[in-house]
Copies of this chain bind each other. A is one copy, B any other.
Amino acid sequence: MKGAMELGAAAAVVKGGMNRGLAIFDFILRLVAIVATLASAIAMGTTDETLPFFTQFIQFRAEYEDFPTFTFFVVANSVVCVYLVLSLALSIFHIIRSHAHISRIILIFFDTAMLGLLTAAASAAAAIVYLAHKGNTRANWFAICQQFNSFCQRISGSLIGSFGGILILILLIFLSAVALSRR
């Protein structure tokens, strides 16, 4: 009986250690996601190109603010970035108390909501970037990337961080679910 109890205690320690490992991994992933979303927001938010020729009345200029979708992209990435910074506190709490479960449920819920927000922003921006590159002959929308070359490269590149963030958030939700079930 005593042996069985010791075995049980040992199993609990192993489970606790496993959960602690998951919590540390969770913390590191959040740090990576913070950098990725921040980089996306900054890369998109500073995009701005003025063409070297202009007529008397019009100066050819493209900014991210000309496209409401890109403004949404910058806002959403910033919101997710701030959320991830705040969530680090709970992540640290999970490293210390690896058996907490209500806080994990809260984290899953908000992670899922943020996943939705980030995916919406990234894919809406991707749809516009695709249009800028390819245009659409049926709707008479021309590919603007031929003129605004560096503008297009910047907006395309800034999507990468966002999509990286999406993958990390999916992984974070999965890790939280695993940790919850091992309690």
Contact = CB atoms under 8 A, between A and B. Distances in A.
Interface stretch (A11-19, A40-48, A83-91, A125-133): A125-133
A2 interface: no
Contacts of A124: 123-124, 126-127
Interface in A74-97: none
Nearest to A174: B109
Contacts of A120: 119-120, 122-123
Contacts of A121: 123
A173 B119 contact: no
A136 interface: yes
A178 interface: yes
A54 to B, nearest CB: 14
A119 to B, nearest CB: 4
B136 A105 contact: no
Interface string A57-83: 000001000111100000000000000
Interface of A: 62, 66-69, 101-102, 104-105, 108-109, 112-113, 115-116, 119-128, 130-132, 136, 138-142, 144, 166, 170, 173-174, 176-178, 180-181, 183
21 contacts: A62-B138, A62-B139, A67-B138, A105-B174, A105-B181, A109-B174, A112-B115, A112-B170, A119-B120, A120-B123, A123-B123, A127-B128, A128-B131, A131-B131, A132-B139, A139-B141, A139-B144, A140-B142, A141-B142, A177-B180, A180-B181
